[in-house]
């Protein structure tokens, strides 16, 4: 890259945005990251992630934090288990004893690791982006809520997730409801307080999917299991049922009614919750999602290719996006040349992954989802 200073603003302190900033800093290029959270621990970061060799793990190596990651990772978390609607195990793939192809890490731990790797002050917290203004030349101005000052940048990177504000000047696309909703619950101190459910879940992920609905239980660190009760249902299912989502007892009873006839242990993922119930409709961007090259702007992660989380590809792709964009900036003479080169890699890869994710969620929440999922898992052994 040219030695002339360039102002790079990354909007969003998720894994992709932080990887991008870290790789740039390793090459002596400054970048500022702006995030709407008031501080690193302002909200729950979500469940566990498995790092894929050619995406997430590649990015961690490019960022120079692979060894630090391995100290936090849980290789045993790669275990995958399928059970039928009665709670009987029908498929169990233990984590590999060697190689650890996709080691797991909690999202919060990953974010902390990446934050610690950055120069202090890189992330500017409590900056909620309102809109991006085009300036003379290829620069842009960032306008933040409740702030008098603005930020000007030669390159604005939209790493700001599903409802990206940076995406708006590039694309008219908006996330669409996939037809599937997760209701998230959780269990704490599982090996002591919920021994039977801990044993059913195993060390990694347990899935029970049948007839357009099911359970996904995922072991996290610290003795916690995160549970997603999934349903193919209208987005406003709770309003249609006259259900108040703020009433835990009503949500519990509604879920038990929907899953009538399922096994006792699976229903305990609903009844024994320690965290209550959080309604999470799943959205995805239209496929394919593309945009014309625009000087001074680009996207990565969910801002570019939001897809269903059941694919397990979202965070991994975001991290690879961040690493690839940073490396393109290092390798090219101008940021505009870098963005063009990066997007030539990003867009085909995103389209392929998004197609696979759409097929995945349609297969997982279908009338024959039990047979479909078992056949898919068996084929991967």
Confidence of residue 2 (pLDDT cuts 50, 70, 90): low
Cβ atoms of 9 and 157 within 8 Å: the answer is: yes
Cα separation of 267 and 272, whole Å?
A: 9
**CB atoms closer than 10 angstroms to residue 93:** 16
Instruction: Indicate the helix (H) or strand (E) that contains 282.
Output: strand 278-284
Query: What are 185-226's pLDDT values in tens digits?
Result: 999 999 999 999 999 999 999 999 999 999 999 999 899 999
Confidence of residue 381 (pLDDT cuts 50, 70, 90): low
Dihedral pair phi/psi, residue 218, rounded to 5°? -130, 120
Q: What is each CA distance from 276 to 144, 226, 310, in whole angstroms? A: 33, 11, 22
Q: Looking at residue 351, what is its pLDDT?
A: 96
Q: In the CATH scheme, what is the code of domain 8-75+102-174+285-363?
A: 3.50.50.60
Matching residue, tokens 């007892």: 249
Per-state percent for the chain, helix, strand, coil, to nearest 5: 35, 25, 40
Domain boundaries, the chain: 8-75+102-174+285-363, 176-284
Domain 176-284 has CATH 3.30.9.30: yes
Query: What are 279-332's pLDDT values in tens digits?
Result: 999 999 999 999 999 999 999 999 999 999 887 788 999 999 999 999 999 999
Mean pLDDT of 253-257: 98
Confidence of residue 75 (pLDDT cuts 50, 70, 90): confident
Cα separation of 15 and 304, whole Å?
A: 14
The β-bridge partners of 11 are 34, 158
The β-bridge partners of 9 are 32, 156
pTM, 2 dp: 0.94
Those residues with Cβ within 8 angstroms of residue 113's Cβ, 6 or more apart along the chain or in another chain: 65, 68, 69, 72, 105
């Amino acid at each position: 890259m040219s030695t002339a200073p360039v102002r790079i603003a990354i909007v969003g302190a998720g894994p992709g945005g932080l990887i991008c900033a870290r790789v740039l800093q390793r090459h002596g290029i400054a970048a500022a990251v702006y995030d709407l959270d008031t501080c690193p621990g302002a909200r729950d970061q979500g469940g566990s992630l498995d790092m894929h060799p050619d995406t997430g793990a590649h990015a961690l190596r490019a960022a120079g934090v692979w060894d630090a990651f391995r100290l936090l990772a849980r290789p045993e978390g790669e275990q995958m288990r399928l059970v039928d609607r009665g709670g009987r195990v029908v498929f169990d793939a233990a984590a590999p004893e060697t190689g650890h192809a996709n080691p797991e890490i909690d999202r919060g731990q990953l974010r902390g690791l990446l934050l610690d790797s950055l120069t202090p002050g890189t992330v500017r917290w409590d900056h909620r982006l309102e809109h991006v203004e085009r300036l003379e030349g290829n620069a842009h101005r960032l306008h933040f809520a409740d702030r008098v000052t603005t930020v000007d940048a030669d390159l604005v990177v939209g790493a700001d997730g599903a409802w990206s504000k940076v995406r708006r000047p590039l694309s008219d696309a908006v996330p669409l409801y996939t037809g599937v909703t997760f209701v998230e619950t959780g269990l704490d101190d599982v090996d002591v307080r919920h021994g039977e459910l801990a044993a059913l879940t195993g060390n990694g992920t347990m899935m029970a999917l049948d007839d357009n609905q099911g359970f996904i239980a995922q072991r996290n660190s610290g003795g916690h299991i995160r549970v997603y009760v999934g349903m193919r249902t209208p987005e406003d299912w709770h309003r249609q049922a006259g259900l108040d989502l703020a009433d835990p007892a009503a949500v519990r009873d509604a879920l038990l009614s929907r899953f009538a006839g399922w096994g006792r242990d699976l229903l305990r993922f609903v009844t024994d919750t320690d965290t209550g119930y959080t309604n999470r409709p799943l959205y995805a961007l239209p496929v394919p999602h593309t945009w014309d090259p625009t000087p001074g702007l680009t996207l990565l992660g969910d801002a570019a290719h939001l897809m269903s989380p059941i694919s397990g590809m979202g965070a991994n792709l975001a991290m690879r996006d961040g690493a690839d964009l940073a490396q393109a900036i290092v390798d090219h003479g101008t940021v505009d040349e870098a963005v063009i080169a990066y997007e030539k890699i990003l867009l085909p890869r995103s389209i392929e992954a998004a197609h696979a994710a759409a097929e995945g969620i349609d297969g997982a929440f279908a009338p024959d989802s039990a047979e479909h999922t078992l056949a898919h898992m068996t084929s991967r052994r």
